[in-house]
Amino acid sequence: MKNTIIGILLIVVISFAIYAAYQTNNIQVSGQMAQSGTMQQHMQPTPKKVERPFDMVQITYGKKAYQEYCAKCHGLNAEGAVDWRKQLPNGKFPSPPLNGTGHAWHHPMATLQNVIKNSRKGSEMPAWKDTLNDVEIDAIIAWFQSQWPDEIYTAWKKGGH
């Protein structure tokens, strides 16, 4: 009887230890189990935070300048006009989102800077070259790029921008 109780306690202790190890991801999984879909999902590495070359002073200034000059058309959070893809009666297009959900991330830095300075044919956007200098333009771009999800920013960087 004593051996039975000790055996049951031993099984409980071992089971608890295995459960605790599993819960804290300290258990090693065999190569075969790791290949299964469920285990593979749990073993994916945590994505690294994407490094961005902007500092908080630039982003803070860019947000302020964006709010002053851009938010009226592009929205307070760079969300763009509601029907930004729908051509207006005058043949132009409304302001697109700049928060990573539009097409801005498809363009290299030089194009983004040029559009802000000189406008873009077929858009409602004014040219800002007489109002904003290069530092202000770059700060605005830094701010709206800081709104982009890491995947979008990474895709933009991989495009050679």
pLDDT in tens, the chain (161 residues): 666 655 554 454 454 445 444 444 433 433 443 444 444 444 445 456 667 777 899 999 999 999 999 999 999 999 999 999 999 999 999 999 999 999 999 999 999 999 999 999 888 899 999 999 999 999 999 999 999 999 999 999 888 66
Side-chain half-sphere exposure of 138, counting CA atoms within 13 A: 9
Q: In order of start, what are the domains of the chain with their CATH numbers?
A: 2-42 (no CATH), 56-158 (1.10.760.10)
CA 43 – CA 21 distance, rounded (Å): 15
Which one-letter DSSP state was computed for residue 93? B
CB-based contact 124:93 (threshold 8 Å): yes
Rounded to two decimals, the pTM is 0.67
Say what the pLDDT of residue 25 is: 44
Cα distance from N-terminal residue to C-terminal residue, the chain: 75
- Coil vs helix vs strand at 10: helix
The string over 112-135, giving b where at least 16 C-beta atoms fall within 10 Å of a residue's C-beta and e elsewhere, is bbbbbbeeeeeeebeebeeebeee
Distance (Å) of CA 28 to CA 23, 69, 158 = 12, 56, 35
